[in-house]
Amino acid sequence: MALVGRDGSIDWLCLPRFDSGACFARLLGGDDAGFWQIGPAAGGGCTRRHYHGNSLVLETEWETSDGTVRLIDFMPPRDGAADVVRIVEGVSGRVPMRMELRLRFDYGHVVPWVRRQGRQQLSAIAGPDAVWLDTPAPLEGRDMRTVSEFEVGEGERVPFVLTHHPSHEPAPGRRDAGKVLDRTLDFWRRWMSGIKYDGSWEEPVHRSLITLKALSYEPTGGIVAAATTSLPEQLGGPRNWDYRFCWLRDATFTLQALLGTGFLKEAGAWRDWLLRAVAGDPADLQIMYGIDGTRRLTEYEVDWLAGYEGSRPVRIGNAAVGQFQLDVWGEVLDGLHVARMAGMTREVPAWDLQRALLDYLEGHWQDPDNSLWEVRGPRRDFVHSKVMAWAGIDRAVQGVERFGLDGPVDRWRALREQIHSEVCAKGYDADRNTFTQFYGSEGLDAALLLLPQVGFLPWDDERIVGTVDAVRRELVEEGFVMRYRPDADGGVDGLPGHEGAFLACSFWMANALHGIGRRDEATELFQRLLGLRNDLGILSEEYDVHAQRQVGNTPQAFSHVGLVNTARHLSGAPAAKEAGKKTPKQS
């Protein structure tokens, strides 16, 4: 996925995969880190831009004193190579144009060897990577960059095709940009024809589903959390993480969004990725994996990049992969239960895996952990983590009761009740009428809004209503929800500074308000959240209420999944994570 600025510059692109080294990293390191800009020679931001219908084909237009010009950007469905296609199209008049290509592999660290290959091609090679540029426009090398200056008139098209290819293999085949564009638009038309959504807010739901498709790695079915690394949660601060991996905590929410809108193929691919990734010893279960199931995601700092608006360090990899997060066992079991509810097959091997996960969960649910927020402070008995342990056991009980699967159901029922009773006794503050972030905590956690969604307590339970009110009172800033207060309980996450409002949590709040009967307030919050999207309908991870801008990695799958699921809930879909769940006995 390429990130394109309003000036026509691609400032972030990793080839050939989401988690590959960036060849354009100006987003994090300035011009020397690499970019690819096409626009009027006079410069400046565009007049307008939009996606072509329900697709990822971006159209950027400039109205200049010489005329109007359109830049068409897209990445076609992969057929063995990773391509970026850019077509300059004259709309009116005759506009002088300028193209500047500054390729820098390994996050701006490696300057490639650039050579002309005939009249219309050049290659840029460094180690295992090779990128080929094919264009009829004139090309000139200047100071370790490639420049093209040309004019485009009404009805004319000037294509640029950039193709990544392993450097040891022969050159890739030539691409006809016009035919590739037609094929790409046809791909999106066919894909969107499979959507089954008849609720309100159709446009933002469609755009979010397209974004989720764009974050999917077709060969494995993995869906990355975001396309970027180290875009800050606090502008100028150190809360900068690499999100180009697949988190198990996203599994159930993502399956719900895909299944609830008719995308069974994508849901099946994501479920199969999940099964492959978690296969093995349950004690070795990780919170995240690479897009192909890779386990080693070693974190290191890239000291030659200045960071986005000076936000350092820039991190590659993610050390949270080694954390113990109890909730992921429950998240996996819940996600596979959602798949089971949808009638997905291959139940026998999947149930064998779940039995192994359940055995581990039985022996470790009482262990303190780092929570779904991956805090880098001391491990605690986080309430959400315990509730997800409860959810995992509950899904096992339902597997026996509703689907005839085998297992020690009486033991599981007793354990489910034990966990439920402990959470209600140790994780609930009766004086404030709210559940807390962890046992004995004075702080709150937006993940507490999920308790009724997973079926732990019904929506009308006074403890749930009290928790929703407490989160609104203590974690809401300018109408949007923070994950938690980093300075609560002596600094729960072990990091300096602060962060923005977490957009997924704000969608959870809209769901919670809807669930407890405050539907007008839920709709008003949802509308405000839709207003935070950028001009292309994209959401990042967080929103800085003081700077009034999006922050964190982008596009963020968790935010777009939250948008889809909340739109479904407010339009009448079940508010719980999956329909048909029994209401548990209350403690």
Query: Could you give the CA distance from residue 480 to residue 250 in angstroms, rounded to a whole number?
Result: 21
Is 199 among the domain residues? no
Q: 77 and 166 share a domain?
A: yes
| Spatial separation of the C-alpha atoms in residues 204 and 223, rounded to whole Å | 19
Local confidence band at 129 (pLDDT 50, 70, 90 cut-offs) = very high
Confidence band for 494, pLDDT divided at 50, 70 and 90: low
Q: Percentage of residues in the chain with pLDDT exceeding 70? A: 96
| Most confident of the ranges 163-177, 281-295, 368-382, 451-465 | 451-465
d(CA 347, CA 37): 50
Residues 167 and 218 in one domain: no
Q: Which residue has the tokens 């030539």?
A: 174
Per residue in 459-479, pLDDT (tens digit) is 999 999 999 999 999 999 999
Q: What was the pLDDT predicted at 580?
A: 39
Within a domain: 191: no
Q: Is residue 177 part of a domain?
A: no
The verdict on 149 and 273 lying in the same domain is: no
**135 and 265 belong to one structural domain:** no
The answer to whether residue 274 sits within a structural domain is yes
**Residue 324 placed within a domain:** yes
**129 and 261 together in one domain:** no
Indicate if 158 and 234 belong to the same structural domain: no
Cβ-in-10-Å burial (0-12, 13-18, 19+) of 19 comes to: buried
Structural domain harbouring 13: 2-172
Annotate 273-291 with three-state secondary structure. HHHHHHCCCHHHCCCEECC
Directed axis angle between helix 503-515 and helix 462-475, to 10°? 140
- Say what the pLDDT of residue 358 is: 96
Q: What is the widest separation between alpha-carbon atoms in the chain? A: 78
For the cut 80, the answer to whether the pLDDT of residue 346 exceeds it is no
Mean per-residue pLDDT for 347-355?
81
Give the integer Cα–Cα distance in Å for 48 and 60: 6
- In a domain, residue 523? The reply is yes
- Assigned token pair, 70: 């359109």
> Is the same domain home to 233 and 359?
yes
- Is residue 120 included in any domain, yes or no? yes
- Mean pLDDT throughout 481-508? 83
The Cα 23–Cα 75 span in angstroms is 15
Question: Is residue 582 one of the residues assigned to a domain?
Answer: no
CATH number (domain holding residue 469): 1.50.10.10
Query: Is residue 133 domain-shared with residue 246, that is, in the same domain?
Result: no
What's the structural domain count of the chain? 2
Same domain, yes or no: 155 and 255: no
142 phi and psi angles, rounded to 5 deg: -140, 115
